[in-house]
């Protein structure tokens, strides 16, 4: 299981093991990461699972599809170059150690 480090807006770090093939959002919801609202349940329809990827990891992720790109323009906290929707990021062994920063709010 890949381990993912979630960093809260205040800087607290929480390392979670998430099953291969699950999305980052699914793992966050399963482990009660409060900063991930996931209102649409992973359907890429709401942008309430917005995260910031540590820049060192960006090249290891697939490029965002058009639907994700569009929704990233609708996030509660302004989009940054390292913004992604966690519902669109499937975890693999290659992502073991992934670091994501959580926004101050989702809605």
Per-residue pLDDT band for 105 (boundaries 50, 70, 90) equals: very high
| CATH class belonging to 3-101 | alpha beta
User: Where do the structural domains in the chain lie, given as residue ranges?
Assistant: 3-101
The pLDDT of 75-84, averaged and rounded, is 97
Q: Are 98 and 17 in contact (CB under 8 A)?
A: no
The pLDDT of 72-97, averaged and rounded, is 97
Per-residue pLDDT band for 7 (boundaries 50, 70, 90) equals: very high
For the segment 24-61, what is each residue's pLDDT rounded down to a tens digit? 999 999 999 999 999 999 999 999 999 999 999 999 99
Residues 38 and 49: their CA atoms lie apart, in Å, by: 5
% of the chain exceeding 90 in pLDDT = 100
């Amino acid at each position: 299981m890949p381990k993912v480090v979630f960093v809260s807006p205040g800087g607290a770090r929480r390392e979670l093991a998430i099953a291969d093939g699950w999305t980052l959002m699914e793992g966050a919801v399963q482990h009660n990461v409060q900063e991930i609202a996931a209102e649409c349940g992973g359907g890429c329809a709401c942008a309430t699972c917005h995260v910031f990827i540590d820049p060192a990891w960006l090249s290891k992720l697939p490029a965002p599809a058009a639907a994700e790109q569009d929704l990233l323009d609708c996030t509660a906290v302004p989009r940054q170059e390292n913004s992604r929707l966690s519902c669109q990021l499937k975890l693999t062994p290659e992502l073991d150690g992934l670091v994501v920063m959580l926004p101050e709010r989702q809605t």
